[in-house]
């Protein structure tokens, strides 16, 4: 009973402390904002206006970099798999490192590309901007965004297919909603243990990071209305994508 009461007491005072700290921080932030409102608003409008002018070219650059880095990484990964077939023991260990390296590059550029596209496009999520006449290229920016996302999905499928070609024991359709289950089932016990540990560590980190990101994006809504949707999407996107990356990378 003492342990239970102690736990309840600890949880209670921690929540009360969080409420008090949050209230003080919020009050101080409001006071600072009100005192510096004109300067902050002017600075934010300048930053927003500058970024909004370059939404279209920025997305083009992201798309081009994504395609170049994605294709090169996948090309190097496939070459590693070809060389592994006839490699001696010493060279095989070197290639094993290369496999992890280029696999990480392929999945990494995919994730960074998707998050960067969401953040850049979110600066255009404003009726004022869309109705201002300065958004004549915003529709084209949306098209580039969609095309880049299609490529990211296509790259993910090709990445998984490349792994399965080199490791035929790996099963699962990357376009299926049951891909994760199929992939894990095809792993041996040692690989499953690595996957479970990686997924659990990711889960713990995201449990701490996502509330902070959501808190920042909700509060920034009053200053940057465009970031509310974009930031929340990025938070949710990271939570859904990271486990898949860990499971693929550490599952072979």
Q: Buried b / exposed e across 176-196, counting CB within 10 Å, b at 16+?
A: eeebbeebbebbeeebeebbe
The larger pLDDT score, comparing residue 63 to residue 37, is at 63
Residue range 223-242: mean pLDDT, rounded = 50
- Nearest-CA neighbor of 158 among 242, 114, 102? 102
On the question of pLDDT at 77 being above 60, the answer is yes
Residue range 208-228: mean pLDDT, rounded = 64
* pTM (two decimals): 0.71
The larger pLDDT score, comparing residue 60 to residue 32, is at 60
Maximum mean pLDDT: which of 7-11, 55-59, 120-124, 207-211: 55-59
Run of H or E residues at 29: helix 2-35
Of 110-124, 161-175, 217-231, 234-248, minimum mean pLDDT range: 234-248
Contacts of 45 (CB under 8 A, 6+ apart): none
Q: Decide if 44 contacts 223 (C-beta within 8 A).
A: yes
Say how far apart CA 221 and CA 77 lie, in whole Å.
Answer: 42
């Amino acid at each position: 009973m003492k342990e239970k009461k102690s736990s309840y007491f600890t949880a209670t005072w921690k929540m009360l402390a969080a409420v008090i700290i949050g209230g003080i921080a919020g009050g101080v932030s409001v006071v600072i904002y009100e005192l510096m409102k004109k300067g902050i608003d002017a600075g934010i409008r300048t930053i927003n206006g500058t970024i909004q002018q370059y939404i279209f070219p920025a997305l083009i650059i992201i798309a081009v970099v994504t395609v170049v880095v994605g294709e090169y990484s996948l090309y190097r990964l496939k070459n590693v798999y070809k060389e592994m077939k006839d490699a001696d023991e010493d060279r095989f260990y070197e290639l094993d490192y290369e496999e992890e390296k280029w696999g990480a590059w392929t999945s990494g550029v995919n994730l960074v590309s998707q998050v960067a596209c969401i953040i850049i496009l979110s600066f255009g999520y404003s009726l004022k901007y869309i109705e201002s006449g300065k958004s004549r290229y915003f529709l084209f920016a949306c098209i580039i965004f969609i095309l880049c996302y299609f490529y990211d999905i296509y790259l993910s499928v090709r990445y998984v297919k490349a792994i399965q070609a080199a490791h035929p024991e790996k099963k699962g359709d990357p376009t299926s909603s049951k891909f994760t289950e199929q992939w894990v089932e095809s792993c041996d016990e040692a690989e499953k243990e690595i996957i479970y540990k990686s997924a659990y560590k990711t889960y713990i980190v995201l449990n701490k990071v996502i509330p902070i990101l959501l808190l920042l994006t909700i509060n920034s809504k009053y200053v940057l209305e465009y970031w509310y949707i974009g930031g929340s999407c990025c938070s949710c996107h990271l939570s859904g994508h990271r486990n898949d990356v860990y499971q693929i990378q550490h599952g072979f």
